[in-house]
DNA sequence: AACTCTAACTTACCGCCGTTAAGTATATCC
DNA sequence: GGATATACTTAACGGCGGTAAGTTAGAGTT
């Protein structure tokens, strides 16, 4: 009775083929230039076939981004869960986050920047604890907690500090992606300035 | 020979009518739900008429956003150009910027968040010194310069510090707009935390 | 081997969209 | 009163996301 299994394998293969085709278009040309028709053309199926594997375009691209952000979560978790020097771990983590966004601009845009057009149920899905974006956020929160536990931060709420740091990192990431032409000067220096300022601002006065 | 003048006045009126109709749709329903057809329907003209006044949809909505951001620039410039207490002026300015974004979410999105689809020439236009967004940025830079001049900031480059502050402010603004469902906790506190941390981080150690 | 049924896939379409070419009417000018 | 320019519309193009209905191939059943 390996028939059913083979069928499922084939179905899974096609799903992956769709994802790969979509990713290629997505990486090269961004959200709007991925059309169901072009994806279909690439894999040499009719456009409707895609809908047998993905609910709609948003679902397809969301799945795509999840795949990619899983890499970020993996990168983070590979850094380990011990933070002998939490301040430098924090800076390194923020650096990693920002660089990841710059390396995968269209994924970053689709995940965090493009305004949702979907209903509350889908929005919840995008923000759920299971999502890869949130797993990365969890890691940030862990480091922040350690900074606070070791007394290196002034006594601020872990959640609030994490959100504030995320906001700042998101700000520089998204601006650099969306406005590449703006005279940013030395980008690396600017990124470091944002990170260093935020972290310094959260440190205890002593 | 008042004929030509009257004609021009009428033309200007229709242009403004188009802008008003588009703004109504835009504020209520955002970029994607403004369609040339719906704007035309609202003003009871055919869709093509709009193209006699605006090059395309992007031009129409850009003009719209310029109108709105002129208000922000005005708000800033009304605060005066003297900064006896530049640190508190800076915080107040950032606060104003963020609040303005939250009050005009769709304008903010269209101006700073939505990735450009236009060519380099248009991009330049959007970022030019004349644009209202940049006038607001100029004001921020002035305050930062004053902070540095008065020795309240560690000796950092004016441009870099301004960009870093803008990035942080943009980060929290855009996240709050784009992900309204995320558990942000007390938004006001979070906004203040971002602002206070960045400003504190830029201050001189003394 | 013939029949049934199911899953995979396609065809043909819907109702939108931004935009443009071509046409019409109207008011001004000479 | 005829020419001209301006304002505006009609009708269409090509594209989009998405769906209902139809086709086909092949496994399961007798």
Is the predicted pLDDT of residue A135 greater than 90, yes or no?
no
- Give the model confidence (pLDDT) of B96-143 as tens digits: 999 999 999 999 999 888 866 656 566 666 666 557 888 889 999 999
Domain boundaries, chain A: 1-54, 57-202
Q: Which of the two residues, A206 and A8, has the higher pLDDT score?
A: A8
Q: Tell me the DSSP string of A32-97.
A: GG--HHHHHHHHTS-HHHHTTT-SSHHHHHHHHHHHHHHHHHHHHHHT-S--SSHHHHHHHHHHHH
Greater model confidence, A172 or B81:
A172
Q: Does residue A134 lie within 7 Å of nucleic acid chain D, judged by its CB?
A: no
Instruction: Give contacts of B159 with chain A, Cβ < 8 Å.
Output: 185
Q: How confident is the model at residue A9 (pLDDT cuts 50, 70, 90)?
A: confident
Cα separation of A53 and A42, whole Å?
Answer: 16
Closest-lying nucleotide for B46 based on CA to C1': D9
Taking alpha carbons only, the member of B50, B73, B200, B58 closest to residue B133 is B73
Distance from CA of A57 to the nearest CA of B (A): 16
Q: Which of residues 172-191 of A touch B (CB under 8 A)?
A: 172, 174-175, 177-179, 181-182, 184-185, 189-190
- CATH (residue range A1-54): 1.10.10.60
Task: Report the alpha-carbon distance of residue A72 to residue A65 in Å, rounded.
Answer: 11
CA distance A13 to chain B (A): 33
CATH number of the B56-202 domain? 1.10.357.10
Q: How high is the pLDDT of residue A123? A: 61
Same fold flag, A1-54 and A57-202: no
Torsion angle, alpha carbons of A103, A94, A115, A54, to 10: 60
Task: Using the predicted structure, report yes or no on whether residue A124 has a pLDDT greater than 70.
Answer: no
Instruction: Report residue A150: phi and psi, to 5°.
Output: -85, 5
CATH 3.50.50.60 fits A57-202, yes or no: no
Whether A206 has a pLDDT exceeding 60, the answer reads no
B5-56 per-position pLDDT tens digit: 676 787 778 999 999 999 999 999 999 999 999 999 999 999 999 999 999 9
B184 contacts A137 by C-beta, under 8 angstroms: no
Q: Give the span between the Cα atoms of A133 and A122, in whole angstroms.
A: 15
Cα distance from A195 to chain B (closest Cα, Å)?
A: 9
Mean pLDDT of chain A: 90
* The most confident of A77-81, A119-123, B119-123, B202-206, by mean pLDDT: A77-81
Q: pLDDT confidence of A133, banded at 50, 70, 90?
A: confident
Digit-coded pLDDT (tens) for A63-106? 999 999 999 999 998 988 989 999 999 999 999 999 999 999 99
Question: Averaged over B158-184, what is the pLDDT?
Answer: 96
Q: Which residue has the higher pLDDT, B118 or B147?
A: B147
A179 neighbourhood in chain B, CB within 8 Å: 112, 116, 127
B151 φψ region: left (φ > 0), alpha (ψ -120 to 50), beta (else): left
Q: Measuring CA to CA, which residue among B60, B74, B68, B55 is closest to residue B17?
A: B60
Å from A7 (CA) to C2 (C1')? 25
A181 contacts B123 by C-beta, under 8 angstroms = yes
Distance CA A91, CA A174 (A): 18
Mean pLDDT of all residues in A45-70: 95
Q: What's the pLDDT at B205? A: 74
DSSP secondary structure string for all residues of A109-149: IIIIISPP-S-HHHHHHHHSTTSHHHHHHHHHHHHHHHHHH
Q: Which of A32, A175, A197 sits opposite B201 (nearest CB)?
A: A197
């Amino acid at each position: 009775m390996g028939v059913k299994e083979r069928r499922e394998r084939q179905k899974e293969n096609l799903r992956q083929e769709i994802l790969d085709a979509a990713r290629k278009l997505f990486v090269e040309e961004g959200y709007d230039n991925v059309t169901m028709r072009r994806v279909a053309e690439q894999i040499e199926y009719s456009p409707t076939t895609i809908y047998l594997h993905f609910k709609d375009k948003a679902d397809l691209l969301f799945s795509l981004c999840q795949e990619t952000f899983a890499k970020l979560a993996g990168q983070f978790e590979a850094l380990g869960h011990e933070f002998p020097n939490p301040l430098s771990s924090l800076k390194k983590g923020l650096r990693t986050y920002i660089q990841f966004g710059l390396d995968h601009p269209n994924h970053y845009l689709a995940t965090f920047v493009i305004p949702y057009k979907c209903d509350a149920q889908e929005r919840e899905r995008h923000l759920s604890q299971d999502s890869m974006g949130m797993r990365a956020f969890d890691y940030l929160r862990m480091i922040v907690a350690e900074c606070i536990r070791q007394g290196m931060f002034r006594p601020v709420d872990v959640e609030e500090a994490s959100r504030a740091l995320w906001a700042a990192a998101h700000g520089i990431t998204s601006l650099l992606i969306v406005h590449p032409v703006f005279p940013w000067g030395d980008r690396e220096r600017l990124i470091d300035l944002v990170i260093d300022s935020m972290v310094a601002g959260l440190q205890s006065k002593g």
